[in-house]
Structure 1
């Protein structure tokens, strides 16, 4: 690497840090090398590094939402044994996992005897809401 290239790289990383674009800062050189090898123009390169930044931000935001929710144990509806609980309305539960009721600000109470999977279903719905970008608290 030549001295002007090193200086430009250091300045670029400094500017990216100031702009709070950490993923672009870490991935820019790798993406630049791939773009040069594939003969991608500057707009294609910029698109690729911006996509990396967005994907990483979405991933970190999802992790923060899951951590803030304080789930006792991660549960999903795929893990729930509907066959063991035939009284549970599977189509309704799967429909509720879509989260339409959240936008309408509707309550969805859970009632039932001990051991019927209420906590599992509530955790699974809350995790589905986190995946949809909603903040939840368990």
Structure 2
């Protein structure tokens, strides 16, 4: 389709032409905002280049926002949680400065792991979702899943001979958030399958885990990890921890093991 081009378009004809062109070029933000931006440009006496820059930046900003929304939706968070809404006063053992350092996502860029450990009600899930949301907004692919749901999916995949494909799918995201590890006991098979997911991601992509138990106690991970260490030439390492238990000072270590 070729749009008619002529000089001296009326205001209404110009608006119609802009609307049609934006639809063809798939520029919804410019189509929705060009009139307001044009009015502001005239008021501020912008040059043609300045006006064009305002239009293009509006489109770029809106596309970035929509991409963030898609990544957050794809992550599968059960509810909206943000760092801004977290009550640091309710748990003074959590260092706000450390949390905001984690929100910079530098540890995800370096493919490092994070474990949030604390009792019920200390805000582990809130923090996990909030940090995952920050990562999605920063451009990372994120996936949130409950530990029991992940294990059940892995068991079904193993029974259907689809385990490798399932593990690979969880291995592709930049950040895998595993919540509520420790609230329900895993049998040996479930622990082994979950450990395969962690092994697949080790030193490749980040994993963030929220647990009410230390990894030394969490559902056979001690024995599973010990067996893997004996069968490998290298030494496996547990994720760095952020301690969220009341009465203890917080710890946040995101350096390579």
TM-score of Structure 1 vs Structure 2, range by shorter chain: 0.7 to 0.9
Is residue 137 of structure 2 the alignment partner of residue 134 of structure 1?
Answer: no
* 1:37 CA displacement: 4.0
* 1:8 CA displacement: 4.0
Q: Residue in 1 aligned with 2:118? A: 112
1:25/1:106 CA distance change after superposition, 3 Å: same
Q: Where in structure 1 do 4 or more consecutive aligned residues deviate above 6 Å?
A: none
Query: Which is bigger in relative contact order (C-alpha 8 A, separation at least 6)?
Result: 1
Decide which structure has greater strand share. Answer: 2
- Matching residue within 9, 26, 29 for 1:4: 9
Unaligned runs of 5+ in 1: none
Q: Residue in 1 aligned with 2:191? A: none
Q: Distance in 2 between matches of 1:47 and 1:73?
A: 37
Is residue 107 of structure 2 the alignment partner of residue 101 of structure 1?
Answer: yes
Q: Residue in 2 aligned with 1:31? A: 37
1:45/1:119 CA distance change after superposition, 3 Å: same
The TM-score, its normalising length taken from structure 1, stands at: 0.79
Unaligned runs of 5+ in 2: 1-7, 145-257
The TM-score, its normalising length taken from structure 2, stands at: 0.46
How many residue pairs get aligned? The number is: 136
* 1:89 CA displacement: 4.6
For 1:6-56, what per-residue CA distance to the aligned partner results, in whole angstroms no more than 9, with x for missing partners? Answer: 444333322222211111122223322333344322111111111211222
Q: Distance in 1 between matches of 2:37 and 2:91?
A: 50
